[in-house]
């Protein structure tokens, strides 16, 4: 399912396509993407708007959680808003995002998951932002 889901998400109209994000891989444990920074991502000072980073991470986290929930006939609901720390400003280039999830709690009906995510520059190996989130499956 996860190979197919990347194709579906990448083809579907909406925020992911409008932002130029390409989902590279998706599994219940990890989701990765890349996008090239363009003018549409920038705020007035010429750096990537913080909301872009938050939106990328929220998208990856939701996709990973959905890969757990959908096969069980469940849906995903956010529990905690993004909390993103910006470490370095970005003006251009290809950027990557990675979300790795951790199971917090599971009973017979629900599972709470949390994750740490980062947006980063692959070729220079530096972190742009770190995000923490939680959701209920």
The pTM (predicted TM-score) of the whole model is 0.76
- The three-state secondary structure class of 94 is strand
Q: Among residues 122, 121, 123, 125, which one has the least CA distance to residue 89?
A: 121
| Confidence at residue 11, expressed as pLDDT on a 0 to 100 scale | 93
Q: What sign does the dihedral 27-30-36-38 (CA atoms) show?
A: positive
Residue-wise pLDDT tens digits, 114-126: 656 565 555 555 5
Q: Can you tell me the distance from the alpha carbon of 106 to that of 1, in angstroms, rounded to the nearest whole number?
A: 23
Mean pLDDT of 52-63: 81
Read off the pLDDT band of 17 (50, 70, 90).
Answer: very high
What's the confidence (pLDDT) of residue 18?
Answer: 92
Query: What share of the chain has pLDDT > 90, as a percent?
Result: 15
Please, are residues 97 and 34 in contact by the beta-carbon 8 Å criterion? yes
30, 100 Cβ separation under 8 angstroms:
yes
Predicted pLDDT at 54: 78
Condensed to tens digits (0 to 9), the pLDDT of residues 85-103 reads 777 777 887 777 776 665 5
Per-residue pLDDT at 32:
84
Q: What is the arithmetic mean of pLDDT over 72-83?
A: 72
Rounded to an integer, what distance in angstroms lies between the CA atom of residue 93 and that of residue 37? Answer: 5
Task: Map out the domains of the chain with their CATH numbers.
Answer: 2-136 (3.10.129.10)
């Amino acid at each position: 399912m996860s190979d197919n889901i990347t194709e579906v998400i990448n083809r579907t109209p909406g925020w992911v396509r409008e932002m130029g994000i390409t989902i590279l891989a998706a599994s219940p444990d990890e989701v990765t993407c890349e996008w090239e920074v363009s003018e549409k991502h920038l705020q007035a000072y010429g750096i990537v708007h913080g909301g872009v980073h938050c939106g990328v991470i929220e998208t990856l986290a939701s996709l990973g959680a959905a890969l757990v929930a959908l096969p069980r006939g469940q849906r995903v609901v956010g529990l905690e808003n993004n909390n993103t720390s910006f470490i370095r400003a970005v003006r251009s280039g290809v950027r990557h995002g990675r979300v790795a999830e951790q199971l917090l709690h599971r009973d017979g009906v629900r599972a709470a998951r949390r994750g740490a995510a980062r947006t980063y520059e692959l070729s220079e190996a530096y972190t742009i932002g770190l995000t923490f989130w939680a959701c209920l499956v």
